[in-house]
Chains A and B, each alone.
Chain A
Amino acid sequence: MKKRVGVLALQGAFREHRQVLEQLGCNVVEVRKTSDLDEIQGLIIPGGESTTIGKLLRIDEMGEKIKELGAKDMPIFGTCAGMILLSKTIVDSEQYRLNLMDTVVERNAFGRQVASFETDLLVPALGHNPLRAVFIRAPYLREVAPNVGILAEYNGKIVFVRQGNLLASAFHPELTPDFRVHQYFLNMIDEH
């Protein structure tokens, strides 16, 4: 049976995630309303502006429902803005968050857009071949709790982590043709 995976479609690069998931054989649900969260087996929170997505998550308590599902072990994967929204602590910000991961995230941590970059990232959990990773006004994690597994660092900064059913990357695997990160997330859904 095809997996039913949701992509939060309030703002940002949700179309690219949908396309990757469809190529990997999933049924994709674009999540715009709280009721769209019923019957999905996993959720991706895409890149975009975390403040914008945060405002839109407050409507109809959609964010609360996602929190509940995440706490009940549904696999959730956040990229860039998604990583920010999943973190419990956001440096110097009171903005809305889902408060699910024991991580301290710093926004725009590599600098403004003129500092955005792509690079080859070593991710042992994905095999020997480096991953081409695209960082756009990207965050990184300043600190993580001991229960958070670090999957990749770039120049000593934590950029890819897993905490049980939760996965978060500072970069954008949906913008490159290498599907290993999405496949890793789908394997988490299978394990679950």
Chain B
Amino acid sequence: MTDIGSFKVKTGLAEMLKGGVIMDVTTPEQAIIAEEAGACAVMALERVPSDIRAEGGVARMADPTIIQNIMAVVSIPVMAKARIGHFVEARILEALGADYIDESEVLTPADDAYHINKHDFKVPFVCGCRNLGEALRRIGEGAAMIRTKGEPGTGNVVEAVRHMRTVMSEIRALTLMPKEELMSAAKDMGAPYDLVLYVAEHGKLPVVNFAAGGIATPADAALMMQLGVDGIFVGSGIFKSGDPKARAKAIVMATTHYNDAKLLAEISKDLGQPMSGIEISTLTEAQRMQERGW
């Protein structure tokens, strides 16, 4: 029996992206630079997160033309973002042939209570999380891939680190609990019980987990890999830097050779100006995109 778009082929594509870097791009020219640098996928956008942050207003799904023009020039997977809860934007992206949909807090949420029922789609979804409960709620809704939220568009890795450390320590805690404690743990973190049982038994999420939100240097990428993520999303960090080509290539190499400090030293040389960052404490709560998601 042939099964198209099964959960296995959805999570399977994420497995194939592991150890790789997914780069935000806004034009076909940027997409070509990303592919040339060794990106394992690109995220097609109208504006990168730091511009969304600077310009304000409502951020929506990109114009389909932008996505199609990018799909036309690269052979690697092309992802695109839909607003939280906006299942019609997701249907449009699916119809365009996007390879993955990011139901993303970078865009302005379309629903202030519910996320998309992602099981309903043939196209796989990736969603952000700050902690294990949030990750398991999204997987329960059908996400086939998870990423940290971090704080998008800041070039500041601190939030991604915090989210990854939180997820990992909550996973470790579950593996040590006797079974009778797991139902209460599921209740406390607001996560589906069957997924809590899975994590307690296997000591890991049932899907691939990438880092996102604030990664700006090869060292940032290697740091997140050493903390245990499966791969890296870079948003504004590449095309808002002084030398996108060199930086893109360096981040790809650092993601493969994350444990080789000597090589990381070589890779990190002469990359020009990184994107200028934002200190998180200067953001008001309303400016923190990571608070979006339920």
A binding-site residues for B, Cβ under 8 Å? 9-16, 32, 47-49, 51-52, 55-56, 59, 80-81, 93, 107-108, 112-120, 134-137, 172, 175
Contact = CB atoms under 8 A, between A and B. Distances in A.
Interface of B: 1-6, 8-10, 12-13, 15-20, 35, 37-41, 75-77, 94, 97-100, 122-124, 249, 252-253, 255-257, 260
B18 A107 contact: no
A15 B8 CA distance: 16
A113 B77 contact: yes
A135 B13 CA distance: 9
Interface centre among B2, B16, B37, B97, by most chain A C-beta atoms within 10 angstroms, is: B16
Interface centre among A47, A52, A107, A108, by most chain B C-beta atoms within 10 angstroms, is: A52
Nearest to A15: B18
Contacts of B9: 113, 116-118, 134-136
B77 A13 contact: no
Nearest to A47: B16
B3 A117 contact: yes
Contacts, number: 121
Contact of A114 (B8, B16, B94, B249): B94
A49 B76 contact: yes
Contacts of A172: 12
Contact of B256 (A11, A15, A137): A11
A12 B12 contact: no
A120 B20 contact: no
Contacts of A114: 4-5, 94, 97, 99, 122-123
B98 to A, nearest CB: 8
Contacts of B19: 9-12, 14, 48
Nearest to B6: A118
Contact of A49 (B12, B41, B253): B41
A175 B99 contact: no
